[in-house]
Structure 1
Amino acid sequence: MLDRTQERRPMESMDPLHRYHEVLCGRLPFTGSESLEPDDPLMDLGLDSLTIVQLIGDLENAFHIDFPDDLVDADTFATVGSLWVVVQGLLTTRDSAAPGEAAVRT
């Protein structure tokens, strides 16, 4: 996984998983200096209701995606890995959308 001690690079030049981890580490207060693992519970890393709203905004901005309200639930925000699966799905939807469709943010 991602070691937080790695040199920080501009978000746009990072691979998606690295960018995802940077967003999480920038928003969650208890990520520490250790690497994040897929089964790490987000609540143990400091996730609460306000942080969910902030994290959604961070993810939307970092990946140019729209996070649908119906995906904001306990299953999505259970672990580092469960949220990543949802983000990957939104990236796939964004990348496969026909030009001009609403799935792509500007």
Structure 2
Amino acid sequence: MDSRFTELLRPFLKHAGADELVITPDTDLRKLGVDSMQAIELLFAVEDTFGISLPDEELNDATFATAGSLWGVIRAQLPDAPTGRVTA
């Protein structure tokens, strides 16, 4: 996962000592405080930071379940991403 991505996540993880937390692909975003309103804010932050637009079909609970699932969707939209969905 990209360091810009993990740093972007930290402010959204209100139920963790986000500064000390090691964010891994398995980090459970819901458990750490990303609710539906936070997911919308996170979506805007991701799109602004990476200059991408996430496809509507990827805007679901599964995408925002873990850091790895969200990163996979982001990574697939980056200009240098290989074809197909990347999960971590």
| Same fold flag (TM > 0.5) | yes
1:64-103 equivalences under 5 Å are 64-91=51-78, 94-95=79-80
Larger C-alpha radius of gyration, 1 or 2? 1
1:29 aligns with 2:14: yes
Question: What TM-score do you get using the length of structure 2 for normalisation?
Answer: 0.80
Q: Which residue of structure 2 aligns with residue 19 of structure 1?
A: 4
| Cα deviation 1:45-79 (Å, max 9, x = unaligned) | 10101001000000001100011221111211111
CA shift in 2, pair 1:70/1:55, >3 Å: same
Q: Which residue of structure 1 aligns with residue 28 of structure 2?
A: 41
Ranges in structure 2 where 5+ consecutive residues have no aligned partner: 82-88
Identity over the aligned pairs, expressed in percent? 37
Q: Which residue of structure 2 aligns with residue 8 of structure 1?
A: none
Question: What TM-score do you get using the length of structure 1 for normalisation?
Answer: 0.67
Q: Describe the SS at the equivalent of 2:68.
A: helix
Cα RMSD between the aligned structures? 1.6
Contact in 1 for aligned 2:54/2:73 (Cα 8 Å):
no
CA shift in 2, pair 1:53/1:23, >3 Å: same
Number of corresponding residues: 79
